[in-house]
A and B are shown apart, each in its own frame.
Chain A
Amino acid sequence: MSNVATDQILGGAYKEGFHDDLKSVHKVPKGPTHAVIDYMCDVKGEPDWMRQFRHRSLDLFLKQDLPAWMPGLRDIDYDAITYYMSPIDKSANKWEDVPEEIRRTYDKLGIAKEEQKLLGGLGAQIDSEMAYHNIQESLSKRGVIFLSCDEGMKQYPDIFKEHFAKSIPPEDNKFAALNSAFWSGGSFVYVPKGVKCDVPLSVYFRINAEQFGQFERTLIICEDDSFCHYVEGCSAPVYTTHSVHAAVVEIFVKDRARCRYTTIQNWSTDVYNLVTKRAFLYKNAVMEWVDGNLGSKRTVKYPSCYMVGEGAHGEILSLASADKGMWQDAGAKLVFFAPNCTGRINSKSISGHGGRASYRGLVQVNEEAKNCRVQVNCDALILDPVSRSDTYPVMEIDGDLATIEHEASVSNVSEEQLFYLMSRGIKKEDAVSMIVNGFIEPIVKELPMEFAVEINRLINLQMEGSVG
């Protein structure tokens, strides 16, 4: 297949690449130091336990090495990065209260318009702090909490402390330690027993500064029999230097509850996106990760489901598109600690223009997890000869009562399909676009309508300017 098709699918303009000159209210010297932590704790007025936690995490970060299988991250210069920076002083809960220049940034991204139409709540983070956080009255009346993570710690210290860092301790990995040391912003969501949040809660993360580290921290707690759908999006300006986005997302899905977490990651190609996402699933709980990775220089992200309660079901849908200069190291983890659980991973990746898409996955069945069933499917499309696709699945099974299936395939756009569509009078570009859209359809159809439209728009927009 020619490069035409690649150009069609990838390589378009990154329209979120602008940046605005915002005045910083808070800014600390570069480099990961204990002094930065003290400054942050003072500014935020944090309790002592958190201050100690941050210091301990920084020590762990400085001590820990990268795992050997995680190449391509050695060139991050941690000392060149600013770890805390904010153009705002406090989070607003009315859009009008958000400082005007920040509102302008978000207007360009079209964030606020969405809120009234389809969201139950909206949050917007710029650099280190949440600029805006609001939730529909109907939801807050039923006890649903939707705050920035910092506010969550202040207003609901008991719930917060009970769950914070319980599924992802700073010891977990180097980037979890980094986040634990410098976390700021992110969401705190609490859905009480039996409450179904039928409209999604959405948060938009924006990096505006240069050589910056964004470390949002999200904690979602779904009590028994509840339901919640959380949607996040993100973007950053295009600079020539690198920024780091190292988020930690912890989710607790209690008995019979269901949580769905949707990500549309569209960072600019100078952002290292190093995210740890993990959900604990209790008895008969259901967790669904829908993870779309379209941007960033390097993404290292494996949303995980840890089945700790009997009968839990974890599902991960992963979509990665690697364009020029990108390495999407995306994947999924299913870890079973309890019997009769089921899990499914469905991954689709596209690589073109020299991009590299890797699926890295883990299925681990521990001895006490009897009668678990897992199905993993990975499909990859490679659009041109300079691109690369890898599959690194690991399955570790203890005991004899699990059924594990893994299947993967890698191929190009089939000449036969292309020929068929063209013989029906469809232009080559449109035909390729149809095939690619058909390929990702099983995942896109799981997205909320607006996001599905956005994905299709991104892919089609990037096809602009291609020559036949």
Chain B
Amino acid sequence: MALPPPQFTMTTGFTQQNLEAIASGEPAWLKSQRLAAWQTYERLPLPTKRDVEWQRFDIRALKLDKITLPADKPAITERLTALPPAWSKQGVVFCDMRTALTKHSEVLKEYLGKSIAPDEPSKFNALHAALWRNGAFLYVPRNVCVDQPLEVVYEFTGQNTAGFPHTLVVVEPGAEATLVQKFIGGPPVGSNGTPSIHASGTEVFVKEGGHLHYISEQNFSPNVYDFTLKRAHVARDAEIDWVLGMFGASFQRYDVECVMEGEGGTSFMYAVGVLDHNQQFGQFTKQHHKTGNTTSDLMFKNVLRDSAVSNYTGLIKVEKNANGTNAYQANRNLVLSKEVRCDTRPILEIESNQLRCTHGATVGQLEEQQLFYLRSRGLTPELARDVLIEAFLEPVLARIQVESVQKEFASLIHQKVVRKQ
């Protein structure tokens, strides 16, 4: 039986009372995590342009004291595909977080908050850790291979509000699964007031020889500020392949990390971002090689139009004695307007010597020659342009193994690319 929906009054702005209300009825260990995170939140100042990571972003429109959390249900609700009984019989769990807290509290206690710690050095990640109240939990037992994709849709409703969904994924040794996360909705277009906040966390543990295919799509409406942290721990011989799509929200800060903890572990991180109007995207990736003989590959591709602003900061960190590391990182940006601002900071920190690390970053435009070629084949200038943009993003789409999701990505890209002024 799930916990009854919490009944509480919410104050405007973020207060510890909100936390108390959310935590009532929860186990003590969870509440102490929340309180620790709350202290981090209170301690950290709001980022300003003086912080290197924030210098290109303007989030002054965000008014924390104008935000009210809804009392009855979270501002962002989850919708999960029903798990066929065949899988639940084998011990697979795919349920919402509140159900998980009652039914699977032992597993949760072992993993929850172990990756996204209460002292995460980011104000919004700490806020999420203190105030999350729903989300999804996926557990795949040893040697079970779930061959159908499992999907969770997070839908944002209301305005001047905030939602903090949390996702926890545990893939036991030798198991395999595909998880699709979609983030949609948000305040209606043209609504005023402060932007609404989406601050979410996804914790992933892939155990020995496990394999997770992970797809995430973010397509919020414009008046949302998105603060997202996704971190995966990859054990010995385990693998995770990520495909991330970033399309909506007027501001987005994505922190995506893989922590390579066992030999033979592999992480493939692929992402597309299509930015237009005044969208501001910050993409912060970290490939953290704690153990040697691990591989990580990363490719982030962005298309920027109008007066969009992007900052890609990627770190490959190789710890001492992580010999045999093989890490690659690429950030490619296609700039379509002269108002665009595009920063890229690919960083390497290497403390080991038997390895191969490379990275590449480019910022460029469509090639005149390619445009000319297509036009000489009878394509209109607009069509030639669109074809080339979609071709630029194609290598990322090709990584999506779920056909319906691949089509959805393609159509979202297409809509944003062919958009006329």
Residues of A within 8 A of B (CB): 1, 68-69, 367, 380, 382-412
Contacts and interface: CB of A to CB of B under 8 A. Distances in A.
Contacts of A398: 340-341
9 tightest A-B CB contacts, nearest first = A391-B348, A382-B353, A409-B358, A399-B338, A404-B363, A400-B335, A406-B361, A410-B357, A389-B350
B341 A391 contact: no
A385 B353 contact: yes
B335 A385 contact: no
Interface of B: 52, 56, 320-321, 323, 333, 335-365
Contacts of B339: 399
B266 to A, nearest CB: 19
10 contacts: A390-B348, A397-B341, A397-B344, A398-B340, A399-B335, A401-B365, A405-B361, A406-B361, A408-B346, A410-B357
A405 B359 CA distance: 11
Contacts of A68: 52
B347 A390 contact: yes
Contacts of B360: 405-408
Contacts of B340: 397-400
A296 B316 CA distance: 27
B361 A382 contact: no
Contacts of A409: 356-359
A392 B345 contact: yes
Given A404-B362, A408-B359, A391 B347 contact: yes
A383 B355 CA distance: 11
Contact of B363 (A367, A382, A403, A407): A403
Nearest to A406: B361
Contacts of A394: 343-345
A190 to B, nearest CB: 38
Given A1-B354, A69-B52, A388-B350, A395 B338 contact: no
Contacts of A390: 347-350
Nearest to B344: A395
Contacts of A401: 338, 365
A394 B335 CA distance: 17
A410 B365 contact: no
A401 B365 CA distance: 7
Contact of B343 (A1, A391, A396): A396
A12 to B, nearest CB: 20
A388 B317 CA distance: 11
Contacts of A367: 338
A382 B356 CA distance: 10
A465 B343 CA distance: 47
A387 B347 contact: no
Contact of B342 (A383, A392, A397, A411): A397
B344 A403 contact: no
A391 B359 contact: yes
Contacts of B362: 403-406
Contacts of A404: 361-364
A389 B339 CA distance: 36
Contacts of B364: 402-405
Given A382-B353, A388-B349, 20 more contacts: A68-B52, A367-B338, A380-B348, A380-B350, A382-B350, A382-B352, A385-B321, A385-B353, A391-B359, A394-B344, A395-B363, A397-B333, A397-B363, A401-B338, A403-B362, A405-B361, A406-B359, A407-B359, A409-B358, A410-B348
B320 A385 contact: yes
Nearest to B334: A400
B352 A393 contact: no
A367 B343 CA distance: 13
A397 B361 contact: no
Contacts of A380: 348, 350
Contact of B346 (A385, A403, A406, A411): A406
Nearest to A389: B350
B347 A406 contact: no
A384 B335 contact: no
Contacts of A386: 320
A402 B363 CA distance: 7
Nearest to A384: B353
A404 B345 CA distance: 12
A453 B309 CA distance: 48
A182 to B, nearest CB: 29
Contacts of A385: 320-321, 323, 352-354
A56 B208 CA distance: 63
B356 A400 contact: no
B335 A397 contact: yes
A378 B181 CA distance: 37
Contacts of B348: 380, 389-391, 408, 410
A410 B341 contact: no
A388 B52 contact: no
A404 B365 CA distance: 10
B283 to A, nearest CB: 14
B404 to A, nearest CB: 34
